[in-house]
């Protein structure tokens, strides 16, 4: 599987799940759909919250076999911090929570 094939499949999956859901690629890395593109991010050591974005391109050669296997049995999590960003962005002006 090429990186483009992987990302195409992943994008389709992520667009079909609820906003705030991450694809749990490894114990320390996730991917999510931000409404426009796939975002790859590491998880913080203190509590597993989404932390820093990274470029998959740099890791693809090393992770390729792992991610191909992951695609056969994908795992997901709901991340409250991503849902909060989405909720805040979708609240009409003047209607704070």
The model's pTM:
0.82
In tens, the pLDDT along 17-69 reads 988 899 999 999 999 999 899 999 999 987 688 999 999 999 999 999 999 99
Residue-range domain boundaries for the chain: 3-90
Q: Is the pLDDT of residue 91 over 60?
A: no
Q: Is the pLDDT of residue 13 over 60?
A: yes
Three-state SS at 32: strand
Kindly indicate the confidence band of residue 92, based on its pLDDT and cuts at 50, 70 and 90.
low
Q: Is 52 exposed, middle or buried (0-12, 13-18, 19+ CB in 10 A)?
A: exposed
pLDDT of residue 19: 85
Residue whose token pair is 């599987």: 1
Cα dihedral 45, 31, 35, 8, rounded to 10, equals 170
Q: Note whether 82 and 20 are within 8 A (CB).
A: yes
Q: Which of 11, 2, 77, 73 is nearest to 39 (CA)?
A: 11
How is residue 13 written in tokens? 């999956």
Three-state SS at 7: helix
């Amino acid at each position: 599987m090429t990186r483009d094939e992987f990302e195409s499949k992943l994008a389709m999956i992520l667009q079909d799940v609820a906003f705030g859901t991450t694809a749990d690629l490894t114990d320390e890395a996730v991917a999510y759909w931000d409404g426009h593109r796939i975002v790859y991010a590491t998880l913080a050591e203190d509590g597993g919250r989404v932390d820093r974005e990274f470029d998959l391109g740099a890791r693809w050669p090393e992770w390729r076999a792992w991610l191909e296997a992951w695609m056969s049995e994908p795992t997901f999590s709901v991340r409250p911090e991503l849902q909060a960003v989405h909720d805040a962005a979708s609240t009409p002006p003047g209607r704070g929570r």
